[in-house]
Structure 1
Amino acid sequence: MATPMIHLFSSLLLCSTFLCFFHCTLSLLDPEDEAGILVQPDDVKMVQSNRDSRKICDFSVGKWVYDDSYPLYDSDCPYLSSVVTCQKNGRPDSDYQKWKWKPTSCTLPSRFDALRFLGRMRRKRIVLVGDSMMRNQWESLVCLVQGVIPIGRKRVTYNGPAMAFHAMDFETSIEFFWAPLLVEVKKGSENKRIVHLDLIEENARYWRGVDILVFDSAHWWTHSDQTSSWDYYMEGNNLIRNMSAMVAYERGLSTWARWVDQNLDPLRTKVIFRSMSSRHNRENGWKCQNEKQPLPFLRQVHVPEPLVVLEGVVKRMRFPVYVEDITRMTEVRRDGHPSVYMRVIGEDEREKQGKGLSSDCSHWCLPGVPDIWNEMLSALL
């Protein structure tokens, strides 16, 4: 009888050793083992709602490492908007496609595995909700997976503010829902546009029954008076003409948070909120035009006010929400924007760069930076 007990003890010891090795492999990563563009923490904390006790890697701290095996697809992907196909639009350099994010405290898979991702997402709905930066991410995710799906077994459908990519053999949909403020915007008297800070159901009814929800909302809240997409705010019956943008943002996010707490089941739905991606335009003091490499490492990255507001709202929630902080990692990637290559330009126009041509320093070229957000998303799921 002693021999079986010895075998049992040996098996348990072997399993324990393997699990310890697996855990250590995830947690021991030397930040100095490769040259790269480093983003150091500035009192960084992984932010989750109070009731979420899971220990998930904080991807926000790490470095950009050049990887010649990238990109993961090319700009011929049929689901890309023309404004982000920088190579097709004539951008002469391509190194911006070859930077991979390497977190300090854990590892990301070496490459995005489309078949594995689709296998894990079988019979699930993934909905990305937000503004044009979220559409940027949706197009990236669709291009990352579509190459392994046979022609005729994938399609895109449209339904009002939503569009959906269907991987039919997996019964999986990857959807984008346009709601840049999350809360409702309606036309009032004299055709005035009114942001209802306490109303969300008109948008949120599309989010019921979804397996994975990814949100973003910040850019539109920070628009100046000249580019604002509304005329007034409203709470209840109170019409508000002037309000601090960040006060309004906090109230709108609080409406979103209450809806999530009251209407979603954490056993059914995972919720991730992606933070604001960095813009590198004139308002920030410089432009992205002609930038070909990430900035040198930043030991202290300014934490923008929208991220502070978002973290505060999420911390008060009951529902387990993970904040995917991409603000710091995108701060150094001024090279990744379309700049003047948001459309095809001729040789004569290129010579006039900086002399009247418009330059997009908010959205991102694809393939490019948003592919990394989706590698992070895959790891989180």
Structure 2
Amino acid sequence: MKPPPSSSPSSGGGAAASLLRKGRLSPYLFTLLVFIFFVAILYGEDFSCILNGQFDYLRLSPSQLTVTFSSPATAKKKSAAAALPFAVGTTAEKKCDVFSGRWVWDEARRPLYEESECPYIQPQLTCQAHGRPDKDYQHWRWQPNRCSLPSFNATMMLEALRDKRMMFVGDSLNRGQFVSMICLLHKQIPNNSKSMETNGSLTVFTAKDYNATIEFYWAPFLLESNSDDAVIHRISDRMVRKGSINKHGKHWKGVDIMVFNTYLWWMTGLEFKILQNSFDDEEKHIISVSTEDAYQMAMKSMLRWVKKNMDPNKTRVFFTSMSPSHGKSIDWGGDPKGNCYNETTLIQDPSYWGSDSRKSIMRVIDKVFGKSRVPITFLNITQLSSYRKDAHTSIYKKQWNPLTPEQIANPTSYADCVHWCLPGLQDTWNELLFAKLFYP
């Protein structure tokens, strides 16, 4: 960045000398001014960038939604040598977008663990145990276009978590990422030195030798809602209470690495119900707003909570973007009556994105995060997961209710095209989390 013509060393020095000759400046003040001036020239670009605020926001192009988000300049500029908490290095190519790439077949290194070796996977995600005949979905590896992801290192992750707490907050999709993380780590921990307990909305995995916990907290909207019961939450008439994030947030304080998600439960239609008073009040004051406005309210509440409760010098906060579903084969040129059932191949169209509702929510994130200085790392798993119509649990999961003869005759009718088999796609989400945590 070039300085203005009037700010050249010769003209600046001459002006200061002229003032000195007129007796308006002492020799000491003159020396100080010249020193400051030359420093400004040498580091003018840095000063200007600090004033302008270097910040990589989420950017949405008209043709395709592309998300790049990183911590704000204020955190980066505190010290030229200062690194983000937990960081040990950077990617080989700093400008590499790890979320842009392709899936490559890798039978040698995938899966990262076996389903039968991880006792913590819920029966809703154990596809092999429930009869899935193929394993191809386990052998795909994400390859960024301009670099490679660092290999997931369980020992390194556990050492970083020593005496610390890591928490996943959100819905069942975030719980799947939480379980994936435990499966990636637990083999490094002796059997008598680990435990997992659930108490209401909170599930805690403890690595005793490390005095570390990896936790999941059920809060599908982040805000207080009528779907907060960790077991009984299948409510069609969903609503959230405005300004209520502290109802759950009091359980999140003291966490060192936080991973938020919220998306799927908001998708009830064009409008969403907001409770203005308390769920305990006999007469409830409810308004309906657009889904986008309701989601925006939740995002702003999350950012305010993070700003107030998380120390950017010691903690890291991540937000996982929308997990795509594959409920309509017609979206990728398939059978108009089909969905993810019996799908064993990937979507090959690199521009495939999915539903328009997903785009509208991404625009909300762009708008809210783009104006914020709160340091959150965005894990953009949406598009890379959109290609993976093969990786859902489909019919290969525990069915909580007995299937009817009609359902048995038509597996498409009860296929789960929202959740993901483990091991599988969500292990890649954690590889990306690992990369952004240690090599931001």
Instruction: Indicate whether the TM-score tops 0.5.
Output: yes
Partner amino acid for 2:201?
A: P
1:147 aligned to which of 187, 193, 198: 187
**CA distance 1:98–1:324, change in 2 (3 Å):** same
Q: Is the 8 A contact 1:131 1:217 kept in 2?
A: yes
Where 2:314 maps in the other structure, the secondary structure is coil
Match of 2:70 in 1: 48
Give the 3 Å change call, closer, same or farther, for CA 357–57 of structure 1 in structure 2.
same
2:350 is aligned with what amino acid? Answer: L
Match of 2:176 in 1: 136
Deviations 1:82-115 (A, max 9, x none): 1110011000010100101111233212x42212
* Structure 1 residues 353 and 100: CA distance shift in structure 2, 3 A: farther
Alignment of 1:59-98 (within 5 A): 59-68=98-107, 69-76=109-116, 77-98=118-139
- Matched with 1:363 is 419
Say if 2:252 is the partner of 1:207.
Answer: yes
- The alpha-carbon deviation at position 243 of structure 1 amounts to 1.6
Match in the other structure for 1:272 = 318
Alignment pair present for 1:334 and 2:362? no
Paired residues in the alignment total 331
Deviations 1:289-328 (A, max 9, x none): 1111211132353562222212322222222111100000
User: Bigger CA drift: 95-104 or 279-288?
Assistant: 279-288
1:197 shift after superposition: 2.5
Per the normalisation by structure 2, the TM-score is 0.69
- Counterpart of 1:21 in structure 2 is none
CA contact (8 A) 1:221 1:245 kept: yes
Matches within 5 A, 1:185-196: 185=225, 194-196=239-241
State percent identity of aligned pairs. 36
Please give the TM-score of this superposition, normalised by the length of structure 1: 0.79
- Distance (whole Å) between structure 1 residues aligned to residue 213 and residue 330 of structure 2: 37
Aligned residues of 1:157 and 1:163 also touching (Cα < 8 A): yes
> Match of 2:372?
317
Stretches of structure 2 that go unaligned for 5 or more consecutive residues are 1-62, 77-83, 85-93, 228-234, 279-283, 332-337
- 1:224-235 equivalences under 5 Å are 224=269, 232-235=273-276
1:114 aligns with 2:132: no
Q: Return the letter of the residue paired with 2:207.
A: A
Quote the Cα distance in structure 1 between the aligned partners of 2:173 and 2:186: 20
In the alignment, which of 281, 285, 288 is matched to residue 340 of structure 2?
A: 288
Q: Is the 8 A contact 1:47 1:311 kept in 2?
A: no
Distance in 2 between residues matched to 1:90 and 1:283, nearest whole Å: 23
- Distance in 2 (CA, whole Å) between partners of 1:344 and 1:233 is 32
Name the CA shift for 1:306/1:152 in 2 (closer, same or farther; >3 Å). same
CA RMSD of aligned residues (A): 3.0
Residues 378 and 268 (structure 1 numbering): CA distance in 2 closer, same or farther, change over 3 Å? same
Question: Is residue 240 of structure 1 aligned with residue 286 of structure 2?
Answer: yes
How far the C-alpha of 1:274 sits from its partner, in A, is: 0.3
Are the aligned partners of 2:154 and 2:184 in contact in 1 as well (CA < 8 Å)? yes
AA at the equivalent of 2:129: K
Amino acid at match of 2:157: F
2:309 corresponding residue in structure 1: 263
SS in 2 for 1:100: strand
The structure with the larger Rg is 2
Q: 1:202: Cα distance to partner?
A: 1.0
